[in-house]
Amino acid sequence: MEVFTEHLRQAFPNSELITYFSATQGMGRINMERLNLQEAKMGLAIGNKFHKMNRSNPFDLLISNGIVGWYVSILKPEIPMINVHHYTLRGLADNVLVGTPGYAPSKYIVSLLERTSSTGKENIAVSCKTQRELRRYYNLDSRVIENGIPLDHFKPIQKERAREMLEIGWDGELGIFVGRADYTKGFDIVQQVAQSQPGLRILCITPSQAKGENLIIRNNVPNKLMPICYSAADFFIFPSRYENASISCLEAMACNLPMVVSRTGIFEDIDESIVGRIVSSSSPEDYRSAIQEVLRSKTGHTRELVEKRYSLERFIDDYRNLAKEMTGRF
């Protein structure tokens, strides 16, 4: 979300950014993450902050992310509004939250706020999958604006040089995983794949505390260093059980890595032959086979797809054109 917001600010450099932190400075904060209600609370604080700012100096346009915009919809400011849907809570609940404390709040409570967030706004889906879910769960029309990444920053460098810069002494086959080390992202599959293949190492770039046999763990790597991390690897592995539009997948493809990914998110609508292997199961054995196929084929033309479809320039143009259409400005 932080990367997406930064990209959006490049489209609107004079915009005002209201975050939960800026909306609650000086106030006590109770974390409600365990019940999956934290974003609902964030939306209340951000909506209040926006309302005060808009009354004193009215904005031309509001862009909100996900359910954080629910309270703004209730306030009904008399300005054009956009809500960007990065996923749906109903989809998340049905795919990965069954049996967890967050399942019922996500499916039956917070999803109502997700529907509320769409009220009175132009709704944007970050992928065709998100668009389908908005229609399926909420009978909601939306338009797709896919994410983009800066291709001048995310580009491949020589593999041996990248490993040297990262102080990785391993000279054998190396995969890379980027994301939280949890069930949703399929980290258990990454662990099992690495453990069963002594001749393979997987570089895991994660904010989580993680461990596993044949894994190289790096925590909290700055985004500016990520092209080096991708370039050090032979393939990108991403067995996520639920995804809509992973920016890390786009970054990896911009660095020309072949993909070994689950059939979710953008990979529900992309030809497998273009990207590497798209796996339709959660079987570690299927991922092991896919990795071997990708390594044998030595294919690597994924950057071409990103250049055609996911450039930051296209992303910026799409949002500016939408803003101009809604306001007559920008």
Q: What pLDDT tens digit does each residue of the chain (330 aa) get? A: 889 999 999 999 999 999 888 777 644 556 666 656 677 788 899 999 999 999 999 999 999 999 999 999 999 999 999 999 999 999 999 999 998 888 888 888 888 999 999 999 999 999 999 999 999 999 999 999 999 999 999 999 999 999 999 999 999 999 999 999 999 999 999 999 999 999 999 999 999 999 999 999 999 899 999 999 999 999 999 999 999 999 999 999 999 999 999 999 999 999 999 999 999 999 999 999 999 999 998 766 899 999 999 999 999 999 999 999 999 877
Looking at residue 32, what is its pLDDT? Answer: 60
Strands (DSSP E) contained in 181-309 are 200-206, 215-219, 235-238, 259-262, 276-279
Q: What are the b/e assignments for 278-289, b being 16+ CB within 10 Å?
A: bbeeeebebbbe
Looking at residue 33, what is its pLDDT? Answer: 61
- Domain 2-148+311-327: give its CATH superfamily: Glycogen Phosphorylase B; (3.40.50.2000)
Looking at residue 105, what is its pLDDT? Answer: 81
Domain 159-309 has CATH 3.40.50.2000: yes
Looking at residue 29, what is its pLDDT? Answer: 58
Q: Write out the two tokens for 42.
A: 């964030």
3-state secondary structure of 174: strand
d(CA 174, CA 195): 13
Q: Write out the two tokens for 234.
A: 């032979």
CATH 3.40.50.2000 location in the chain: 2-148+311-327, 159-309
Per-residue DSSP letters for 108-131? IIIHHHHHHHTTTSEEEESSHHHH
